[in-house]
Amino acid sequence: MKAKKLKRWTGFDTVVTVLAILAVAITLYPMVYVVSASISDPISVMAGNVVLFPVGFSLDAYRIVVANMDFWRSMLNSVLYVIVGCVLMFLTTVLVAYPLTRPNLKFRKILTYYLLIPMYFSGGMIPAFLVVSNLGLYDSPLALILPGCYSIWNIILCRTFMASLPTEMIDSALIDGSDQFRTLLKIVLPLSKPVIAVIMIYTIVGVWNSWFNASIYTTREEIQPVQLYLRHILSAASSSLQSRFLEQLPPEVRQGYQQMAVSANQIKYAMIVITTVPIIAVYPMFQKHFTKGIMLGSLKG
């Protein structure tokens, strides 16, 4: 059997490889720096000695952040918004996408075109704010959940995937006496795991990183998500940031921390690391179906 000839390495391959390595380095450097600075010696961080790897070792910034109750309250709010948002996004996406794949649905094409209009054209921020206010949702957790509980892009994506499933399988189930809801639950959804994984990971990342809606729809600190809380912290003055965190510590603990040179920037780095870990931990849960689902629409067969 003739051996397969290896591909010759060309100058183009070299350029692409170098660019890819540079892109990875540019992407990873801020993450590595933030982690290194958050666990380095506070004096070294303030002196600017941390460039890539940690200099010394200190977990004082993490101890201060962990002892801050406002931070954990905002984290709990974000977890709640992510869970409720994912459930509502799943329901609105699936229950709209599946009927649009059924050929016997009246005005199916008209409804599809109708959905495409607001996907490209929206009323803008002011009409959205007026709708939220007139519905009595202002300063309510629902104002941070309901506006993002559906996505027309996700509906179109899910509809496209479901339409590619074998119609014979669905029709045979209906002929055997299964109703539409049972067919969706027992046949369509198990086959749609790749696209559902993509929609869920996009929803989780979007809700977890969302802060703008919270900044315009609420003024109550007790319901703000962690990203808005983090934004306030990052924009706060260094001295006021450090004093704000120290004021919330117990007196016996506060006295010890006030004698330490924990920089405000190091507290910010520790908060960034803590808020990033949950969203990174979510990816492996969906990795099995994510790669297949993300390629949806790249090939048509």
> Which CATH number characterizes residue 182's domain?
1.10.3720.10
Q: Tell me, yes or no, whether 218 and 254 share the same domain.
A: yes
pLDDT at 79: 92
What's the pLDDT score for residue 299? 41
* Same domain for 119 and 82: yes
54 plus 114 within the same structural domain:
no
Q: What is the pLDDT of residue 301?
A: 40
Write down which residue in 27, 43, 58 finishes a domain.
58
Model confidence, pTM: 0.79
Let me know whether 52 and 179 are in one domain. Answer: no
pLDDT, residue 77, reads 93
Q: List, for the chain, all residue ranges whose pLDDT scores fall below the cut of 70.
A: 1-7, 236-263, 286-301
Q: Are residues 77 and 215 in the same domain?
A: yes
- Total domain count for the chain? 2
Q: Do residues 50 and 148 share a domain?
A: no
Query: For residue 28, what are the domain limits?
Result: 11-58
Residue 299 belongs to some domain of the structure:
no
Q: Three-state SS across the chain?
A: CCCCCCCCCCHHHHHHHHHHHHHHHHHHHHHHHHHHHHHCCHHHHHHCCCCCCCCCCCCHHHHHHHCCHHHHHHHHHHHHHHHHHHHHHHHHHHHHHHHHHCCCCCCHHHHHHHHHHHHHCCCCHHHHHHHHHHCCCCCCCHHHHHHHCCCHHHHHHHHHHHHCCCHHHHHHHHHCCCCHHHHHHHHHHHHCHHHHHHHHHHHHHHHHHCCHHHHHHCCCHHHCCHHHHHHHHHHCCHHHHHHHHHHCCCHHHHHHHHCCCCCHHHHHHHHHHHHHHHHHHHHHHHHHHHHHHHCCCCCCC
Is the same domain home to 77 and 129?
A: yes
* One domain, residues 27 and 154: no
